Homo-oligomer: A and B are copies of this chain.
């Protein structure tokens, strides 16, 4: 089952700057061979459901190993059976309507 997800990982108890933890997640997504695009409040990730969710789990494991005692992650995940759709398709579908 293919999925498109949006993942925002928030380490708690490591102070106010969390960018180094987010950078580690970016690497995990890429090392997993997932198509990943960082934005200002999370990361779009596209791939097989288990690969996407396995990578999110690995983010938690790695961030705990780095010393964060607590992590709260928010995820949106979408699947569809009517047709194949990539992340770029979703963006194009909206922007084509903006140009009208």
Contacts and interface: CB of A to CB of B under 8 A. Distances in A.
A49 B75 CA distance: 14
Interface in A26-62: 26-27, 37-42, 44, 46, 49-50, 53, 56-57, 60-61
Copies of this chain, tallied across the complex: 4
Interface residues of A, number: 58
A32 to B, nearest CB: 15
A84 interface: no
Interface of A: 1, 4-6, 8, 10, 12-13, 15-20, 22-23, 26-27, 37-42, 44, 46, 49-50, 53, 56-57, 60-61, 64, 69-82, 87-88, 90-91, 93-98
